[in-house]
Chain A
Amino acid sequence: DIQMTQSPSTLSASVGDRVTITCRASQSISTWLAWYQQKPGKAPKLLIFDASNLESGVPSRFSGSGSGTEFTLTISSLQPDDFATYYCQQCDSYFGMYTFGQGTKLEVK
């Protein structure tokens, strides 16, 4: 099974900061990767798909990059609404395996 490892687990930052979250896959997943944002008590929200494509309606300060085994989610200038938990997810639709990373909690510094 493919394992997804996010780092860091917790990230403290301030409004206006540029932040980067990393996700590593235990084997190559090409660009079959998504990023989600989740706020307490709410369902996750799709931010990025295919590693670098911005979902409609998502602010352009969010960006994704990477391929193979290493991926990053970058928020260029942190806004108050961005403090949340972020998850990466690998999507192997051929074998029917969709594994999430353990999450990164972005908190106020």
Chain B
Amino acid sequence: QVQLVESGGGVVQPGRSLRLSCAASGFTFSHYGMHWVRQAPGKGLEWVAFISYDGKKNHYADSVKGRFTISRDNSKNTLSLQINSLRAEDTAVYYCAKERTEMLTGYYSDWGQGTLVTVSS
């Protein structure tokens, strides 16, 4: 079965950097586009970033463009999110999510359990 396991969250000071990872298993990782979605405490869902199956195409939400970088290593079945210049408003649970099909649609059939990032001095 599909498994997505995020890691790398924690408490970080404003302005610092953090790298989140998502270990994927149970499916052919290199065939699927992947996304990061975040949820601030008590708030709704916010799409953050997308990367194509081969890593050649990516998109970002305007709120994170220029500070966040999504990447993937298909040889290690791992998705990553590099977060720079962290701000208080980046505090959230970060989920990695798998596209429902090999064709890009933006529908997420599988999610990780999430990793909490807290930005605080």
Contacts and interface: CB of A to CB of B under 8 A. Distances in A.
B62 A98 contact: no
Interface in A18-56: 32, 34, 36, 38, 43-46, 49-50, 55
Interface stretch (A59-67, A75-83, A89-97): A89-97
Interface string B30-64: 00000101000000111100100000001110100
Contacts of B29: none
Interface in A86-109: 87, 89, 91-93, 95-103
Interface residues of A, number: 26
Given A96-B50, A98-B50, A46 B45 contact: no
A42 to B, nearest CB: 8
B104 interface: yes
Interface string B91-108: 000010000100011111
A44 B111 contact: yes
Interface in B58-92: 58-60, 62
Interface residues of B, number: 23
Contacts of A95: 59
A43 B113 contact: yes
B106 A34 contact: yes
Contacts of B44: 87, 100-103
B78 to A, nearest CB: 19
A87 B59 contact: no
A88 to B, nearest CB: 10
25 contacts: A1-B62, A34-B106, A38-B45, A43-B95, A43-B112, A44-B45, A44-B95, A45-B111, A46-B100, A46-B107, A55-B109, A87-B44, A89-B45, A91-B106, A91-B107, A92-B106, A93-B104, A96-B58, A96-B59, A96-B60, A97-B47, A98-B50, A99-B47, A100-B44, A103-B44
Q: Lowest 8 A-B CB distances belong to which pairs?
A: A96-B59, A91-B106, A43-B111, A98-B47, A49-B107, A100-B45, A103-B44, A98-B106
